[in-house]
Structure 1
Amino acid sequence: MADLFADDAPPPARNDEPREDAPLADRLRPRSLVEIIGQEHLTGPEGAIGRMVAAGRLSSMILWGPPGTGKTSIARLLADAVGMRFVAVSAVFSGVADLKKAFAEADRAAQAGQKTLLFVDEIHRFNRAQQDGFLPFVERGTVTLVGATTENPSFELNAALLSRAQVLILERLDSEALGKLLDRAEALEGALPLTGEARAALVASADGDGRFLLNQAETLYNAQIAEPLDPAALGKFLQRRVAVYDKDREGHYNLISALHKSLRGSDPQAALYYLARMLTAGEEPLYVLRRLVRFASEDIGLADPNALVQCLAAKDAYDFLGSPEGELAVVQACLYCATAPKSNAAYAAQKAAFKSARETGSLMPPQSILNAPTKLMKEIGYGQGYAYDHDADEGFSGANYWPEGMEPQTYYTPVERGFERKVKERIEYWDKLRRERGQ
């Protein structure tokens, strides 16, 4: 057969070319396996798929990976590469009757000397009995099964089915792979109306999903934007609208803002005044308590961990006593928060960590710290090399817990106030141990 990986290898003939008005992602669909982006560990000459295609024989397989990474394209192109019939069913839309029909057609094709590749999208959505129904047809070679799933096969697929299929793991598309997809889109449609920084932001927003990225690019093309968008303008263009507060109750929000800022400013007298203004005007005490609970985490945090306990205890007391007796518990929580040492370190850490999580998307943790409850997960390296901290000197291994390719970050910086002073000392001590151990 022709060398799949030769630069001059012609793409296989197709009879299902997309229409000119088809979505951009469909028009950019790969025409051969060499055009698949980001999965070279599988489709390259040394990869499992590359080797099977070079040999001209396919085994049943499960393609496991995030959305938009090429599972459907790989299955379709596999059939082309080895000259097999391609039949696709979806576990979302297909039932037992559809499967019976597919197997019967595959039987007739086999008698005529034509092998069938049966692609089952979202295969994990079939129940256990339906999955068992595949077994006899896979075992006698009526079909070569290629299943696609975004879920862990160890938990979602029958052991009997897994034993008859090779699990191949697709990786989320990195920024380089996503950039190549945009290059292909621009070669077809022209330059995107984006600055260089905005283009990078668009790639980051895709979180490894090539289909999502191309859909976003198509939205930009369809809008016929005259001037290139910068990152801020791109964010405004693509984001959804959010609801705003009802301005009919502006006084309500003015008072809660004044209460919050008085608490933050450690002025118990002013805080008590605004609390009284709200309660005497008929404000719901439980609303005020919700704001106090939030304040205890946002503006006090670990400087005084007991502030959150006090606020929740006040909520329980009010639930038990009701008004007016329970309102004294609200006052007590308010005064406790106003006079407690302040720190927004936990709040700042949350914002920084959430921002980082959105930017890095679905990076996998190191395999050494992943649980491996199944044989498959152990075989692919989950849990190997884990350092159990309780066995280390001083109960601290100093291991690296960050995803591969991501530098350790500092989100939480304790202040020199209240209990956080002790937390700061602990963190500094652990950092010292890491440096001494060269980690």
Structure 2
Amino acid sequence: MSDLFTPDPIDPADEPPGARPLADQLRPKSLGAVIGQTHLLGSQGTLRRMIGSKRLGSLILWGPPGTGKTTVARLLADEIGYRFEQISAVFSGVADLKKVFERARFESLSGKKTLLFVDEIHRFNRSQQDGFLPVMEDGTVVLVGATTENPSFELNAALLSRSQVLRFESLSSADLEKLAQRAEELTDAALPLTPGARSTLLSLADGDGRALLGLVEEILASAEDGEMLDEAGLLTVVQRRAPIYDKAQDGHYNLISALHKTIRGSDPDAALYYFARMLDAGEDPLFLARRLIRMAVEDIGLADPQALPQAVAGRDAYQMLGSPEGELALAQVVVYLALAPKSNAVYTGFKAATSVAKATGSPMPPMVILNAPTKMMKGAGYGEGYVYDHDTPEGFSGQQYFPEKIGRQDFYQPVERGFERELSKRMDYFGRLRAAKIDRDDD
């Protein structure tokens, strides 16, 4: 069981130089030394208010890797005087949890409260998550869970209802620069980087403080005396870090949502940026092609009838050319859709028609528009009085096509943008002809 808990701290004086990773050596000793997360740790931050009240409730710390979740949990326990226990959902099971709870109950007999930090809490299954509920409710432990995944998707509703979710943000470039400076002070060595290379280093870290310190260690260990690395030299020393992205999880949905909304918002530059980010992170281009086809019909529709053919052609071009040449065809679709006039009139009209169809059952269409392939059906009035539209002067008969039970409905409302402006004129024209026919029939 000992490997599940945080070991006793080692006196740095007893360690050989470089024995611990730089990230561990620079771990803050107080909340005031934590870099970033000012919305939580600033003077008016949520955690500051909790500490001030000396009352700490169960928390879910949600955010990207390397943003300080574990460190903050440990320092919270120190600030408020709780015992700190740490387990990982990756390596622990129900038996391990029971031992933790027994230890916490024993310590509570002497008045010591326990803060239980559960790393990767989303990896516990639903029944394991339910196991926390009794000890949270009776005060055996204050649970602080950490997750990189969206809690609303990964955690039980019962667990979430007993916890406060706190969002940790990726570290900004300014935060990462402060961290790099701390590393230089600790190691008493300036990073041998040109200003451009230093900026690239911060970008490679991608908001992850732990990743930045790992890169710093690589640079300090690999750089030769007196050597100054430019951007190209830096990339030969460190391996490019993969962007934070999981095609089945939160990052995937965040970026496809951003791509969709920037195209809907007619911003081709932002749309190209998110499109490029998803490709760079390893997204399947055909998934993007399918989403672009959906955007063409959902957000543009008949305001630009060429939007759908463009999107389908982009998919076909990618399938013919493959990567990377085919990705340019999809980028062309991204720009075309972003700059196309927008309309969701077909989308909303279809939803409205579907709603009426579900609500009204199965009324018979008007007899006048039903086929009569047998004598019996003709005798029953099927097709009687039908007017062949092409035989009329306007090519429009104006007959009633809706079931009598429902009456005429208006689902499709074209917008005054793009080609739908022309369709609106056509609908007005047919509406006038239909109204004139009704007047003639009434007379």
What TM-score do the two structures reach when normalised by structure 2?
0.53
In structure 2, the CA distance between the partners of 1:305 and 1:98, relative to structure 1 (3 Å rule), is closer
Match of 1:196 in 2: 195
CA deviation vs aligned residue, 1:141-195 (integer Å, no higher than 9, x gap): 0000000000000010000000100000000111001111101001111101111
Q: Which residue identity is paired with 2:143?
A: L
Give the aligned partner of residue 234 of structure 1.
Answer: 234
Q: Distance in 2 between matches of 1:391 and 1:29?
A: 60
Q: Does 1:139 align with 2:137?
A: yes
Q: Write the letter of the residue equivalent to 2:234.
A: L
Return the letter of the residue paired with 1:54.
G
How far has the Cα of 1:224 moved from its partner? 3.9
In the alignment, the residues of structure 1 paired with residue 327 and residue 119 of structure 2 have an alpha-carbon distance, to the nearest angstrom, of: 47
In the TM superposition, 1:27-426 aligns within 5 A as 27-189=25-187, 190-226=189-225, 227-239=227-239, 346=329, 394=416
Q: CA deviation at 1:197?
A: 1.0
Name 1:417's counterpart in structure 2: none
Give the greater-gyration-radius structure (CA).
Answer: 2
Correspondence for 1:371: none
Cα distance between partner residues in 1 of 2:127 and 2:147: 18
**1:35 & 1:79 partners in 2: Cα distance?**
15
Specify whether residues 101 and 201 from structure 1 end up closer, same or farther in structure 2 by C-alpha distance, changes over 3 A only. Answer: same
SS in 2 for 1:124: helix
Identity of matched residues, % = 56
Separation of aligned partners in 2, 1:56 and 1:90: 26
Distance in 2, matches of 1:391 and 1:81, equals 61
Q: Deviations over 1:251-300 (max 9, x none)?
A: xxxxxxxxxxxxxxxxxxxxxxxxxxxxxxxxxxxxxxxxxxxxxxxxxx
Do 1:37 and 1:177's aligned partners in 2 also have CA atoms closer than 8 Å?
A: yes
Q: Per-residue deviation at 1:57?
A: 1.6
Is 1:24 the counterpart of 2:22? The answer is yes
Aligned twin of 1:284: none
Question: 1:303/1:149 Cα in 2 relative to 1: closer, same or farther (>3 Å)?
Answer: closer
Q: How many Å apart are 1:304 and its aligned residue? A: 8.2
Alpha-carbon contact 1:69-1:172 (below 8 Å) kept: yes
CA distance in 2, matches of 1:50, 1:307: 55
**Deviation at 1:35?**
1.0
Deviation at 1:237, TM superposition (A): 1.9
Q: Look up the SS of the partner of 1:185 in the other structure.
A: helix
Alignment gaps of 5+ in structure 2: 1-7, 241-307, 336-411, 420-443
* Rounded Cα–Cα distance in structure 2 between residues aligned with 1:303 and 1:135: 54
Q: Deviations along 1:194-231, whole A, 9 cap, x unmatched? A: 11110110000111111001001001111242211000
Contact 2:173/2:202 (8 A) holds in 1: yes
Q: 1:117 to 1:392 in 2, by over 3 A?
A: farther
Using the TM superposition, give the Cα deviation of residue 347 of structure 1 relative to its aligned residue in structure 2, in angstroms: 7.3
Give the Cα–Cα distance (whole angstroms) in 1 for the partners of residues 315 and 47 of structure 2.
57
Deviation of residue 239 (structure 1)? 3.1
Deviation readout 1:87-142 (Å, 9 max, x if unpaired): 00000011111111110000000011100000000000000000000000000100
SS of residue in 2 equivalent to 1:117? strand
Q: Number of residue pairs matched?
A: 261
Contact 2:176 2:209 in 1 (8 A): yes
CA distance in 1, matches of 2:66, 2:317: 45
Answer whether contact 1:62 1:167 (CA < 8 A) is retained.
Answer: yes
CA distance in 2 between partners of 1:351 and 1:223 (Å): 42
8 Å Cα contact 1:63-1:147 kept in structure 2:
yes
* 1:193/1:225 contact within 8 Å kept: no
What code does the residue aligned with 2:86 have?
A: A
Q: Which amino acid aligns with 1:136?
A: P
- Distance of 1:68 and 1:40 partners within structure 2: 15
Distance in 1 of aligned mates of 2:414 and 2:71: 48
8 Å CA contact retained: 2:318, 2:329 = no
SS in 1 for 2:35: coil
In structure 2, the residue corresponding to 1:144 is in which secondary structure?
Answer: strand
Alignment correspondent of 2:433: none
Q: Distance in 1 between matches of 2:157 and 2:311?
A: 47
Q: Secondary structure at the match of 2:66?
A: coil
Whether the 8 Å CA contact 1:63–1:168 is kept in 2: the answer is yes
Please give the TM-score of this superposition, normalised by the length of structure 1.
0.54
Distance 2:218 2:333 in 1: 32
SS at match of 1:145: strand
Do the aligned partners of 2:101 and 2:135 also contact (CA within 8 Å) in 1? Answer: yes
Q: Which residues of structure 1 form unaligned runs of 5+? A: 1-13, 241-301, 316-332, 334-342, 353-389, 397-421, 423-439
RMSD over aligned Cα, in angstroms?
A: 3.5
User: Are the structure 2 counterparts of residues 161 and 306 from structure 1 closer, same or farther at C-alpha, using a change threshold of 3 Å?
Assistant: closer
Question: What amino acid maps onto 2:194 in structure 1?
Answer: T
Q: 1:232 to 1:394 in 2, by over 3 A?
A: farther
State the secondary structure of the residue aligned to 1:191: coil
Whole-angstrom CA distance in 2 between matches of 1:51 and 1:186: 33
Q: 1:231 corresponds to which letter in structure 2?
A: E
Q: CA deviation at 1:28?
A: 0.4
Alpha-carbon distance in 2 for matches of 1:107, 1:307:
65
Native 8 Å contact 2:194 2:229 kept in 1: yes
1:344 to 1:102, Cα distance in 2 relative to 1, 3 A: closer
> How far, CA to CA, are the matches of 2:333 and 2:318 in structure 1?
21
Closer, same or farther in 2 for the Cα pair 1:71/1:304, shift >3 Å? closer
Shift of 1:350: 10
